[in-house]
Structure 1
Amino acid sequence: MKCNFCKKPTSYCCSRCKIKYYCSKSCQKKDYANHVLVCPQRSADILVKSVFRDLIPTKNAVLYEYGFYNCVICQDRIMLFGLYADFIKLIDCSASQLHSWWENGELLINIKKVYDDGGYTSGYYKWFLKNEHLLQGLRKYEGIKSDNQIADNLSNKFHSLIKPYLSKHDQTILFKSLPEPKNYICTFYLTILTGYLPRIEQKLWIDFGFCSCRIHGKYNYDNSYKEGIYEHVRPIAGNNDLSEEARLKNLYWELIVQKGCMVDEFTDAYVSGTVLDLLKKKCDNTSWLSASKIETIGYNQPNKSVYNLEQYILSEAVGLIPSVRVDYGFFNCRTKDEEKQLKNMYKKLFLTPQFDAHSLHKACITGKLFKYISSILPNDVLRADLLRNPYPLKEID
């Protein structure tokens, strides 16, 4: 065979794709820009890159092949990622070595061997010794077939998690057969029980008060709601050191897990619009809820459009809805550039410590958006013509 770069005779091929041949590492490196377009990435390559970027991978194949989908609890996924990061950096493990161990079913054995033979120890390894089952029986990702297996596996685990909080009758039926409000509450329970925050694009994020928490400076807007995951799963102890979202999540954890609030009781509070009252009645140290102006939304109750604005600004997955378009000036934009300019202005506004969503809402309904935003961003060149809205509405006789 001939080298794909210099055309010299060679018998060495790319270990990943087994298609392209190279006479030396130098030629392979020089041809990398072309070769990478046709040489498929292995899950091990993506995992190693993710480790050095300090971001948990999101590709289904990686999550499936390296055990992340065996973790139901958010904290377990973080610990597994920490184990891989510890291991890869500890022995300078290459993607090829990692892939070889995985392919031969020797990943679990070699992780233990490296730690035990080297006398290494860490919190991640101690956790791993109690959770070895997460890396047993790892298999190759096979698209839809594997996706169905993942869904069935998670469904069974989720049902086991929430079962203690359901009435005896509800334990015997499928979630989809439950009344709409109760089914919705089950989704929220699973979010809290698995250690996650509601995603910012979800209705849960608005209805259960996370939208009204102060959020300045915490988000990577290109990877909506991914930054801060380590903070959000910290233990309940030391609540004063947590963000408001994390403190609120911990209150819901206390209500559900420690106080044993059943789904029926929580659903009744949601339908009647009294979820905050339930938290204050059952949980400890809730005075900050009023001080921080945390508000929840009951079943079929309207919410302030400022929270939909936050969703649109903070998540690339959320589109611009009519109420936000009218209330916050986007209907004034004549071009995509003007719309982008206005959106970037709101992003900067949200990152400013003085910003308060309640004050922005008040400025909106009184027709004083430009005045309020100018007071928060005094050094910015703002366009008053883009910040006009129909408010205040004339009173109807």
Structure 2
Amino acid sequence: MAETCLGCHKFSFDYDETKLKRCSGCKKAYYCSEACQDNHWVFHKFDCQPDRINTADRLAMAVYEDMLPGHPQTCEDYGFDRAITPEAQSKLIGLYIGLIKILGIPPRTVHKWRIHGVLVDKIKETYNKVPEAARAEYYPWFLENEHIIALAGQPRTTDMMVRAWIFIEGSDSESREEIIAAIERKPKDVKDCFYLCAIILSKGYPDPAMDMWVDFGFASCTSEDEEKRLCARYYRLIEACTFKEFCDAYRDHRLLSLFRSKGLPVDDGRGHLGGLLGGDWKKSVWFLKQNVVQDPIAEGFGMAPAVMVDYGFFNCETDSERQQLRRAYKAFFDSPHGDPSALHEAAIKGNIHGYLSTVVQGLENPVFRRLMENPYPLPEYDDSD
């Protein structure tokens, strides 16, 4: 019976069955070339050297299958059990896909980095060698959430999901998987509150890619220190109230009142936090900020239609123009003089360029005036006829 290359299954461009060579380890698998054997090693190692498998090998298999790892110890070693939301887990596997599959870091190297306690530093070192425009959105997310990997594998008295589950009066006898399944059956507002509690109890804070970054007011923060202070306030609040109180206040847009009722006033001098927590409707400027602070997502991908229209992205004819417009808004939000509410007012008056030019330098090019045009102000409706 003729053998077949286990790697390419006869689909290699220069496949020659007469040149097949047997794996020197297991003596069972055949390959048509060293390149084919190298490319398939991430899978073949499990059959050839099962006694030498480590969690980095399992991570690599998940990477090449474009799936989240299912092996519990792998999840613990590489941070997946700390990335509690689907968005965070997707970003984390994307980071490892870039590291292992695209940048070519072997699993054995990743394993050494982890056991020597330098995984975070080495990920930074590796990605920083890549041009910024080619890093995709996973690396900037990692820089905001490196604690997920830095704390991976460290002993914890209670898993964050279990701790949050106990906080909402769930049973501590249920597994993490049972807890997640139970939470996913809950209404959206309950799920939102649970995941925020899990993040806050783990001493983390929401990433801008998460809806809760806007919904729980973190978009109003102008610095990492402000985010940390807001996290600390939420930490004290969820320890001072019941989960039902917290959910009811979130659902009814009364979180600021709940803070005050528990003796935990929140500094909201600009009124932005109150605007985000106090009503169903949120100004499109906050979703603009959510999009542009994530580097380098842009290209209009995932941008709400209201943001596209209100802030001129529908005017962009090329990728370069989208990036130019996005950089201008990012410079605005990074500026200590950038007031999101004032930008919103300028947008509805059709004066984005006029206002933005008072905060951001370098907008003299006429292209910015064209890109920042929008349909506002809307003509007044005349019903006299």
Shorter-normalised TM range: 0.5 to 0.7
Give the drift of 1:244.
1.0
Are 2:191 and 1:208 aligned? no
Q: Distance in 2 between matches of 1:100 and 1:358?
A: 49
Q: Distance in 2 between matches of 1:321 and 1:101?
A: 40
Name the structure 2 match of 1:305: 284
The answer to whether the 8 Å contact 2:237/2:264 transfers is no
Q: Distance in 2 between matches of 1:97 and 1:192?
A: 33
The CA RMSD over aligned residues, in Å, is: 4.9
Name the structure 2 match of 1:279: 259
Give deviations 1:180-210, integer Å, cap 9, x for gaps. 4223322222222222222212221111101
Question: Structure 2 vs 1, CA of residues 43 and 174 (structure 1 numbering), >3 Å: closer, same or farther?
Answer: closer
Name the structure 2 match of 1:268: 248
The answer to whether the 8 Å contact 2:215/2:276 transfers is yes
Gaps of 5+ in 2: 1-23, 44-53, 60-66, 84-105, 117-150
Give the drift of 1:283.
4.2
Question: What is the aligned counterpart of 1:243 among 225, 231, 235?
Answer: 225
Gaps of 5+ in 1: 1-12, 21-30, 48-57, 75-93, 109-126, 135-153, 216-241
Q: TM-score, normalised by structure 2?
A: 0.56
Name the structure 1 match of 2:304: 321
Name the structure 2 match of 1:360: 343
Are 2:162 and 1:162 aligned? no
| 2:272 partner letter | K
Q: Distance in 2 between matches of 1:282 and 1:331?
A: 45
The answer to whether the 8 Å contact 2:164/2:197 transfers is no
Q: Distance in 2 between matches of 1:377 and 1:265?
A: 42
Name the structure 2 match of 1:225: none
Name the structure 1 match of 2:155: 131
Aligned-residue sequence identity (percent) comes to: 28
Considering Cα pairs closer than 8 Å and 6+ residues apart, tell me whether 1 or 2 has the greater RCO. Answer: 1
Structure 1 counterpart SS, 2:273: coil
Are 2:371 and 1:386 aligned? yes
Give the drift of 1:309.
0.8
Q: Distance in 2 between matches of 1:132 and 1:174?
A: 23
Give the drift of 1:291.
4.5
Give deviations 1:47-103, integer Å, cap 9, x for gaps. 9xxxxxxxxxx98599943843689668xxxxxxxxxxxxxxxxxxx996995999x
Q: Distance in 1 between matches of 2:353 and 2:169?
A: 49
Question: Structure 2 vs 1, CA of residues 348 and 60 (structure 1 numbering), >3 Å: closer, same or farther?
Answer: farther
- After TM superposition, the structure 1 = structure 2 runs for residues 1-397 of structure 1, keeping only pairs within 5 Å, are 40=42, 60=69, 64-65=73-74, 67-68=76-77, 131=155, 158-166=161-169, 174-215=182-223, 243-257=225-239, 259=240, 261-284=241-264, 286=266, 288-291=267-270, 293-295=272-274, 297=276, 301-315=280-294, 316=297, 319-382=302-365, 383-397=368-382
Q: Distance in 1 between matches of 2:273 and 2:348?
A: 20
Give deviations 1:338-359, integer Å, cap 9, x for gaps. 2222122222322223222222
What count of residue pairs does the alignment treat as equivalent? Answer: 275
Q: Distance in 1 between matches of 2:283 and 2:112?
A: 54
Q: Distance in 2 between matches of 1:101 and 1:343?
A: 36
Q: Distance in 2 between matches of 1:292 and 1:299?
A: 10
Q: TM-score, normalised by structure 1?
A: 0.54
Structure 1 counterpart SS, 2:308: helix
| 2:364 partner letter | V
| 1:68 partner letter | D
Question: Structure 2 vs 1, CA of residues 161 and 133 (structure 1 numbering), >3 Å: closer, same or farther?
Answer: closer
Give deviations 1:309-364, integer Å, cap 9, x for gaps. 11221232861221011100112223333222212222232222322222211211
The answer to whether the 8 Å contact 1:370/1:384 transfers is yes
Give the drift of 1:251.
0.6
Q: Distance in 2 between matches of 1:390 and 1:180?
A: 34
Q: Distance in 2 between matches of 1:380 and 1:39?
A: 53
